[in-house]
Amino acid sequence: MQIVPLLRLMVLCQVLVGFCVVVASPGYAETGATNPKQLASEVAAYPYTEQIKHQVLPVIFHEVGLGPLEKRQGRWSYKNAERLSGELGRWTWQVADGFASADLHELLSQRLAAIEQNKLLYSCKGRACGPGAQWANSIFGQRILYGRDQDQWYSVYRYGTEFRVLIYSSARTPSRQYLHLEVLEILPQ
């Protein structure tokens, strides 16, 4: 019997139990999380994530991708997108100790989908998203996020009417896996 897979399973069970405790807590079902920025604190609390980067900046007409990346007239852009202004929070973590960034992406997606006021606007996996190098460099401006095209996952959620939440995960090797979270708080128009 191998110890590493057993430890990995034990930690994943702890994360799932913690998630269930949050969802079952009083008031969660009625309101959901009050602010999606709390997701960043939850990811940072996982024992197998290490924060690489965090920034908060004002944005005007920030492009939120609602489709795969395509090359048009020599430039990479989304097939579909919306442009929004507000405050953008960005977090990037390395997922360590043999855990998969896709598992954490799936856990966050399930968490967001469980809140009634949220809606999945777009999601893609693998090569259906477009080239991983373009996501890392052109979209997120972080070459560290570059991974194999088949090992990427992107999701966008509308969180109530005030937020957009973007999750991107990628893997280059088993030890080089990353999760990127963006929370855009939309300015009223």
> What is the chain's mean pLDDT, rounded?
83
What is the Cα–Cα distance from 184 to 169, expressed in whole angstroms?
18
pLDDT in tens, 113-129: 998 889 999 999 999 99
What is the Cα–Cα distance from 43 to 64, expressed in whole angstroms?
22
pLDDT in tens, 84-122: 999 999 999 999 888 899 999 999 999 999 988 899 999
pLDDT in tens, 48-97: 999 999 999 999 999 999 999 988 888 888 889 999 999 999 999 999 88
In a 10 Å sphere around its CB, with 0-12 CB exposed, 13-18 middle and 19+ buried, how is residue 112 labelled?
A: buried
Position 55 scores a pLDDT of: 95
pLDDT in tens, 123-164: 999 999 999 999 999 899 999 999 888 999 999 999 988 999
